[in-house]
Amino acid sequence: MFPSQRFTMTTYLSPQDVLKKLSEVVAPTSNKIQFRWRRSKKPYQGQIAEHSFKISRIIYNRNSFSTEIEGRIQAHGRGSQIEIEIKLHPFVIIFMSFWLSLVALVAFMILGESLFERNFNLAFLIPVGMLILGLALPRIAFFPEAKRSKKFLMKLFQSREENSI
């Protein structure tokens, strides 16, 4: 229901070099309130572990549909293989699921009333429009952001894409 992308990259970089490259562009996640005039020099923030990472692009505007990137790094021949999943933040998925459920409930109530009275109620079109918008908006916002992050990571790791799911 909600968009996500999975793909695998192969690079000639060792797992240690991949982690080093990541640390050059990922700022640690901070629990402190960050002020807009104090911008990070790094484009991403998150956590980097020994064989994995969980990062998101640092944005200075409001974008509830920004992506979260999870990756697993493993040695592969003389280089590395990086399995990546780009997805929406779990809070966004929970909120949108709740909101869409309520809108769908209202639509079915209006439709049920219309069928019971045998008279089409134009108010039915409002929640239907909200459902369509609620399903389209995450996709419209997700795919350009996912494409930007994928391109950035492929360039960073000087890699090629092996497969997409």
pLDDT in tens, 4-29: 999 999 999 999 999 999 999 999 98
At residue 165, does pLDDT exceed 60?
Answer: no
Q: Give dist(CA 29, CA 14) in Å, integer.
A: 25
User: Would you call 69 exposed, middle or buried from its count of C-beta atoms within 10 A (0-12, 13-18, 19+)?
Assistant: buried
Same domain assignment for residues 11 and 62: yes
**pLDDT score of 12:** 95
**pLDDT score of 18:** 96
10 Å Cβ neighbour count for 77?
8
Mean pLDDT of all residues in 132-149: 92
Instruction: List C-alpha distances in Å: 21 to 27, 109, 124, 151, 153.
Output: 12, 54, 53, 15, 10
Beta pairing, strands 4-11 & 79-88: antiparallel
Same domain assignment for residues 80 and 101: no
Residue 136: inside a domain = no
Same domain assignment for residues 76 and 17: yes
Please state the domain count of the chain.
2
Distance of CA 20 to the CA centre of its chain: 23
**pLDDT score of 32:** 57
Same domain assignment for residues 58 and 38: yes
**pLDDT score of 65:** 79
